[in-house]
Amino acid sequence: MNILLLGSGGREHALAWKIKQSKKLNKLYIAPGNAGTALCGTNVSIDLNDFEKIKSFVLEENISMLIVGPETPLVEGIHDFFLADKTIQHIPVIGPQKAGAMLEGSKDFSKKFMLKHGIPTAAYKTFTKSQLRDGVVFINSLEPPYVLKADGLAAGKGVIITENQGEAVQILNYMLADAMFGEASSKVVIEEYLNGIELSVFVATDGNSYKILPVAKDYKRIGEGDSGPNTGGMGSVSHVPFADKAFMQKVEQKIVIPTINGLKNDGIPYKGFIFIGLMNVKGEPYVIEYNARLGDPETETVIPRIKSDIIDLFEGIANGNLAEKEIVFDERTAVCVMLVANGYPEAYEKGKLIKNLDNVTDSIVFHAGTKTDTNGNIITNGGRVIAITSFGNTIEEAKTISLKNAEIIDFEGKYYRKDIGKDLVI
């Protein structure tokens, strides 16, 4: 079959890499893609939010499945757009409709959903501009640290955590009164701080049954020892030793099953992936957030651990027979180390030549922010540039291989964390 994959990051390269291995694939197109996805299929220059153009392309190239990588087109309703159009409604879309994508698109919606279905999460209250005073009173009633979340999509920057009560009040003001994140902060969720270790659980669902993919942990802070500002993710590890059988049983019973049943009971169709960001608080899982897509850079360790055909999994999601599908996982551990540009996550330069990609051995290289210039050179084109994934029998083993190649691949201003997974090694 011919597949169109939307997105341009490391997640999409990992998906494209895996899709390319399927016997069921005829042609793979990636829009807009990066220099790495171009090695797995054909990049096409289409804006992710130009649904009309996506439709024309799908019809012209006889596409029989659309896979959506990032959240924005989902929250903007690309799946609904396909269903509403007679010429393309038969083409399955992997990724939820708008109603399901609201789990990510609105923190207030997702908190209400969790509360309604008894899914463990931090206690919270939501405030609008007219309730600013009540918000301040609420902050004053809480113990620090204070967690403030813009309701809508804010490119991963909408969560602010501070120890300082005055600062929390000021941020609430910025968000509500000064539209710090535009429309996204017209509502603000203020919630209880959860103290624990985070992990990411990806669930594939056809809206009825589900499969839990290998668990991963990502490393969000720029600096070693989890210091400095948040980034899109500096690396990931899968599996996660503390997510043992007993813990995962709790995750499944208390979170995954109530989530799938909650969607069903609320009449929200869902075909795609639910990314559950969890906090392990003294052995009990709590939901930090839902995302309506796979995570990045978790995908770069989770997808390589799937041994079976990924198109078979997508077909299960699309056709509603996911329960019949057997998914086989690699028992080894995968570690991904992300090479980022100098200055990231603040302002950074692009256009730096990436060298020595061909000298990599024993790792899988996924491109994130890269492109091919007019001379055919691969250059940097984003803050997160290259994800290096390796396997090992232990985190240490896998990490050592990724770090070896992190030394080899080079570009001006290259930076990476050397401690990915270190906190998980006992």
Residues that bind ligand GLY (CB under 6 A): 218, 233, 291, 295-296, 298
- Residue 306 binding partner per list ligand AMP, ligand GLY, none, with a CB distance cut-off of 5 to 8 Å that depends on partner kind: none
Q: Retrieve residue 389's tokens.
A: 């994934």
- Beta-strand (E) ranges in 113-254? 124-128, 146-150, 159-162, 187-191, 197-205, 210-212, 217-218, 221-223, 227-230, 235-238
CA angle 86, 89, 91 (to 5 degrees): 140
Q: Which of 54, 88, 93, 122 binds ligand AMP (CB under 6 A)?
A: 122
Kindly state the smallest distance separating residue 372's Cβ from ligand AMP, in Å.
32
Kindly state the smallest distance separating residue 288's Cβ from ligand GLY, in Å.
11
Q: For residue 142, state whether it binds ligand AMP (rule: CB under 6 A).
A: no
Rounded distance between C-alpha atoms, residue 1 and residue 143, angstroms: 55
Q: Which of 5, 147, 263, 401 binds ligand AMP (CB under 6 A)?
A: 147
* Residue nearest ligand GLY, CB atom distance: 295
Kindly state the smallest distance separating residue 1's Cβ from ligand GLY, in Å.
27
3-state SS class at 411: coil
Q: Which of 120, 262, 269, 277 binds ligand AMP (CB under 6 A)?
A: 277
Choices 188-196, 294-302, 359-367, 401-409 (CB under 6 A): range interacting with ligand AMP: 188-196
Choices 9-17, 19-27, 189-197, 310-318 (CB under 6 A): range interacting with ligand AMP: 189-197
Kindly state the smallest distance separating residue 162's Cβ from ligand AMP, in Å.
12
Q: For residue 171, state whether it binds ligand AMP (rule: CB under 6 A).
A: no
Strand partners, 191: 124, 147
Q: Which of 71, 151, 191, 300 binds ligand AMP (CB under 6 A)?
A: 191
Q: CA separation (Å) from 253 to 199, 247, 301, 362, 375?
A: 17, 10, 25, 38, 54
Nearer to ligand GLY, 55 or 399 (CB): 399
Nearest residue to 385 (alpha-carbon basis) of 340, 335, 336, 417: 340
Rounded distance between C-alpha atoms, residue 194 and residue 34, angstroms: 37
- Residue 296 binding partner per list ligand GLY, ligand AMP, none, with a CB distance cut-off of 5 to 8 Å that depends on partner kind: ligand GLY
Nearer to ligand GLY, 296 or 309 (CB): 296
Kindly state the smallest distance separating residue 291's Cβ from ligand AMP, in Å.
8
Nearer to ligand AMP, 46 or 122 (CB): 122
Write b or e for each residue in 64-90: b if 16 or more Cβ atoms lie within 10 A of its Cβ, otherwise e: ebbbbbbbbbbbbbbbbbbbeeeebee
Q: Which of 138, 193, 242, 415 binds ligand AMP (CB under 6 A)?
A: 193
Q: Which of 16, 48, 189, 194 binds ligand AMP (CB under 6 A)?
A: 194
Do residues 29 and 57 lie in contact, with contact meaning Cβ atoms separated by under 8 Å?
A: yes
Nearer to ligand AMP, 71 or 315 (CB): 71
Q: For residue 148, state whether it binds ligand AMP (rule: CB under 6 A).
A: no
3-state SS class at 301: helix
Rounded distance between C-alpha atoms, residue 204 and residue 122, angstroms: 24
Beta-carbon count within 10 A of 116 CB = 12
- Residue 298 binding partner per list ligand GLY, ligand AMP, none, with a CB distance cut-off of 5 to 8 Å that depends on partner kind: ligand GLY
Q: Quick one: how far is CA 32 from the chain centroid? A: 18
**Can the peptide bond before residue 304 be classed as cis, meaning omega within 30 degrees of 0?**
no
Beta strands 93-94 and 65-68 are parallel
Query: Could you list the residues that contact ligand AMP (CB under 6 A)?
Result: 122, 147, 159, 161, 191, 193-194, 198, 220, 277, 288-289
